[in-house]
Amino acid sequence: MKHLLKLLDLSKEEITELLDLADKLKFENKHGIEHHLLKGKTLGMIFQKSSTRTRVSFETGMVQLGGYPLFLSSNDLQIGRGEPVQDTARVLSRYLDGIMIRTFAQQEVEDLAEYGSIPIINGLTDFCHPCQVLADLQTIREHKGSFDGLKMCYIGDGNNMANSLIVGGLKVGMQVAVACPKGYEPDEQVLAFAKEQGGFTLTEDPKQAAQDADVLFTDVWASMGQEGEAEKRRAVFEGIYQINDELLAAAHPDAMVQHCLPAHRGEEITAEVFEAHAQEIFDEAENRLHAQKAVLVKLLG
């Protein structure tokens, strides 16, 4: 494992190794055990999309590991003013030990890895969100003990979260069911992977997807960069693609609910369901820190 570009690149064993390391680092963190495993290392963090959790968790994680995080907005870099990504990659590789980038195009992340000579971490693209889903998997395993026999359900837009949840869930051995409106399905590359694996269902019916599910996921109907489509999307999703008490009744009685945040209460999830499952959702948010520290140690250590 030289980079974290997308979960499609990782084996089940590599994912499990990262989750085991994340659990270890979380235990040490909770017990005040310092782990300066990246002392003297510098992580450049490129943000072409803003974020609360990604920025704070990566900065905090690098500090806890003894390293130094360097925040780089698109306003700080020539990449935002037309410098080719391959030139940026080669320059930053001379200064830094690793790069985390949160951007729009997956190709930009792939190009950084191709032309640079240091590890590249995908902090989010329009195609996938591997760091979030590693934290999601860590949270599921914490609450359920293992992935054996579990069914994951995702309700909503077939976006970057849906893409990564499908791949991550199937790779660790869960059944995965996804309910999306027609025209809002996950990426074709991801659906082709899922078809090869088996254990995957794609439907337009949320209740069918949620049937006997052990963990239910959702995300906002309009992701960052899709604000202009918000009203159109609301007309398609509203009243159907929502985690509510009626949908939960189809799942297992002890089903978890997860949300990558920020959540729009009353849209993709009701306020009542969100608050009833807030402990699980904020465990998930916290685990961004621990899962990403595991990625950093694996790649930069």
Query: Active-site residue numbers?
Result: 102, 129, 132, 219, 260, 288
Residue 157 annotated as binding site: no
* SS3 assignment, position 125: coil
Query: Looking at the chain, which runs of residues are DSSP E strands?
Result: 42-47, 68-73, 98-102, 120-124, 151-155, 175-179, 200-203, 215-218, 256-259
Residue 132, annotated ligand binder? yes
CB 157 within 8 A of CB 234: no
Cα separation of 108 and 101, whole Å? 9
253 labelled as ligand-binding? no
Residue 160 assigned to a binding site: yes
Burial 2-31 (b: 16+ CB within 10 A, else e): ebbbbbbebeeeebbebbebbbbbbeebee
78 is in an annotated binding site: yes
53 labelled ligand-binding = yes
Residue 256 is labelled as binding a ligand: no
Residues linked to residue 229 through DSSP beta bridges, in sequence order: none
Confirm or deny that 226 is annotated as ligand binding: no
128 assigned binding-site residue: no
Question: How many C-beta atoms surround the C-beta of residue 153 within 10 A?
Answer: 30
- Phi and psi angles of residue 165, each rounded to the nearest 5 degrees, phi first: -65, -40
Angle (CA) 182 239 253, round 5°: 100
Q: Tell me if 97 is assigned to a ligand binding site.
A: no
Instruction: Answer yes or no: is 100 a known binding residue.
Output: no
Residues marked as binding for L-ornithine? 160, 219, 223-224
Which amino acids are annotated as binding site, given as ranges? 51-54, 78, 102, 129-132, 160, 219, 223-224, 260-261, 288
Give binding residues for carbamoyl phosphate as ranges: 51-54, 78, 102, 129-132, 260-261, 288
